[in-house]
A and B are shown apart, each in its own frame.
Chain A
């Protein structure tokens, strides 16, 4: 009968525990995301249906309704935060993420990396290009200040454009 040596068994157990922890946390994150997205969608569909009935001043979202939808997510959110804290303290993480990626297609031509470095070292050209772009940038800024571009940026930034941030 197949037997696992004791040391490997402990390591396997640890690995299984880590994997389980990571999967639980992943599921939790996914559930939170689904609840957050579905909550907003649900609110919108409810409100849109009421508006379609002809209620001009039916507000789709209100602070109270949004709060009510968020409330069930909070325990899960705290749970995920707690697990994250535990994971960080115990040093639990996906070890594979730290390992070098040996994808053949990523390293089709490793020699070219050195060639690139040599190319990058072409200091004279780089320096000229850099200086030219710097000068152009400064000229553009001065031109922009003169043609009112600076004031446009201020006008946009000084007030909230509700459409831009997705408010409406």
Chain B
């Protein structure tokens, strides 16, 4: 029996191996701990890889991508890029681990089990919950497959149905994880009906988990539904020895998931049934290797084998802890993608007006090291801002920079002093960004004097070029950020898109927020910035 339930007389129960592994996985998936402090997400190359469990990639700590979010994104883009990569990743995880992932290495599973530990009356499984367990296939078909495919391929719109309307992991780890940080205070401005809806869903699911074991996992989780397809032939999982099994059904009766038999599509291989079986017919295996077998009773595994397993377990823990320490050190101290204070490369030059050269440093100023100001800073703007400190906050003078545009020309901010400048950060994978880009085009048509620079983040450059070639917008200036350019850290842009910075004719920031804009809002902001 699991150690957590074994010692009924004890007050505080020792966490079992499974719970420790769950905690370990949650820490490993979220090893970018500095993200929780500085409010930014990790945006390095490892984000191209998916973790097996449910872990939102917008969580400030996440070091890799969520397989379900990636699947929706891939299906959304299936019209021009076949989703082979994500399907392959899911199949690989499924065939090796199956739903063992749900029971052992899913952070959302851990959260649900912790909530269920709250001592309240519990709802037990029944034939009703078993019927409800098929609901997750409906969520999979509708929200994960149909909506992204219909909107993506059929209408050319980005709509990750499950992420957008339901996913409690996205709300808890992503939205709440980011909002709790004062650095993301402007993110509150974009909250509305969608957030309210998702917040209520998260609270309801959380409450349900208190009373009903793994509510989300059993009735809603599409990722569990996908891995369930692989469970019968997955390399790792609960296996039943037919020579020992007498079909008594005790394993099914004791199991808290809605299984019909040990190891079926609902089984999360928690291993609770192993010592429940009086005949020692059940074991947790990875291929031919027994990970956990019956340790008591007449069919218990031989003592030397148990000792050997425990020894191997200790070695595995040693390696795993070393890997975790390395990951934490790497993502928090070494990995350059997490270092947002890294000075921008030489391609970007920054300057500031001579009048404000010695102005007191601001928080944003620290992000742009003094050493980066070059001799070009003698180019004093035609309309100097009165004593505005250099920075990215409203009321600050935005540091000057130059970058190469997609059309081959060079954009230099100081060249546009005397004009209202709008800088928009966008991405092809971000639906609100794509929706609002036409408003910028419309603004430029209505007010030709305004300069609009749209900066795409460094990933997905090819897709962005294809997208813009399709649209044919010629009023806007587009630039692609890159590791070398480092425009986003230079302008202290958040990881959240869309973000818009509006500068008045003196180059002073009049608006800087991570929020989608309507045309009416954009026009009002332009007029505000255009006031003398």
- A101-B126, A133-B233, A156-B70 given as contacts; is B191 within 8 A of A168 (CB)? yes
B-contacting residues, A74-112, CB 8 Å: 80, 83-84, 87-94, 96-98, 100-103, 105-107, 110-112
CB distance from B7 to the nearest CB of A (A): 10
Contact of A61 among B62, B188, B260 (CB under 8 A): B188
How far is B89's CA from A136's CA once the two chains are assembled, in angstroms?
Answer: 10
Interface string of B85-119 (1 = CB under 8 A from A): 11111011011100000000000000000000111
Q: Of A126, A137, A167, which contacts B187 at CB under 8 A? A: A167
A36-83 CB contacts (< 8 Å) to partner B: 36-37, 40-41, 43-44, 47-48, 56-57, 59-63, 66, 80, 83
Contact partner, A168, options B9, B194, B240, B459, Cβ 8 Å = B194
**Could you tell me the distance between the alpha carbons of A94 and B240 in the complex, rounded to whole angstroms?**
30
Of residues 117 through 158 on chain A, the ones whose CB sits less than 8 Å from some CB of chain B are 117-118, 120-121, 126, 129-130, 133-134, 136-145, 147-158
Contact with A along B483-508 (1 / 0, CB 8 A): 00000000000111110000000000
Q: A96-B124, A155-B427 are in contact. Are A117 and B252 (CB under 8 A)?
A: no
Contact A166 B463 (CB under 8 A): no
The 8 Å CB contact of A157, one of B47, B496, B521, is B47
In residues 222-256 of chain B, which contact A (Cβ within 8 Å)?
Answer: 230, 232-235, 239-242, 245-254, 256
**With an 8 A cutoff between CB atoms, is A114 at the interface?**
yes
Contact between A130 and B457 (Cβ–Cβ < 8 Å)? no
From A33, A100, A144, A166, B206 is in contact (CB under 8 Å) with: A33
Q: Mark B53-97, 1 if CB is under 8 A from A, else 0.
A: 000111000101110011001100100011111111101101110
Most buried by B among A90, A98, A111, A148: A148
Interface string of B147-170 (1 = CB under 8 A from A): 000000000001010011001001
A153 and B49 CA atoms in complex are apart in Å by: 7
In the complex with contacts A61-B188, A121-B242, A156-B70, A113-B249 CB distance below 8 A: yes
Instruction: Say if the beta carbon of A26 comes within 8 Å of chain B.
Output: yes
B125 and A84 within 8 A (CB): no
The interface on chain B, measured as residues whose beta carbon lies within 8 A of the other chain's beta carbons, has a size of 135
Q: How far is the CA of A164 from the CA of B495 in the complex (A)?
A: 13
A116 within 8 A of B: yes
- Which of chain B's residues have a CB closer than 8 A to the CB of A153? 47-50, 65, 70, 73-74, 85-86
**Segment of B293-301, B351-359, B407-415, B512-520 in the binding face:** B512-520
A106 and chain B: residue at smallest CB distance: B127
Chain B residues positioned under 8 Å from A103 (CB to CB): 125-127
Known interface pairs A44-B193, A164-B58; A84-B118 also in contact (CB < 8 Å): yes
Give B residues with C-beta under 8 Å from A.
Answer: 5, 8-13, 41, 43-45, 47-50, 56-58, 62, 64-66, 69-70, 73-74, 77, 81-89, 91-92, 94-96, 117-122, 124-127, 130, 158, 160, 163-164, 167, 170-171, 174-175, 178-179, 182, 185, 187-200, 203-204, 206-207, 210-211, 213, 230, 232-235, 239-242, 245-254, 256, 260-264, 281, 427-432, 457-460, 462-463, 494-498, 514-516, 520-521, 524
18 contacts between A and B (CB under 8 A): A29-B210, A57-B521, A63-B182, A100-B253, A101-B124, A113-B260, A116-B264, A140-B84, A141-B85, A144-B85, A151-B463, A152-B463, A153-B65, A157-B64, A161-B497, A164-B163, A166-B197, A166-B199
Given contacts A22-B120, A126-B233, 10 further A-B contacts (CB under 8 A): A59-B191, A63-B179, A88-B12, A106-B130, A117-B241, A144-B84, A156-B57, A161-B429, A163-B164, A168-B515
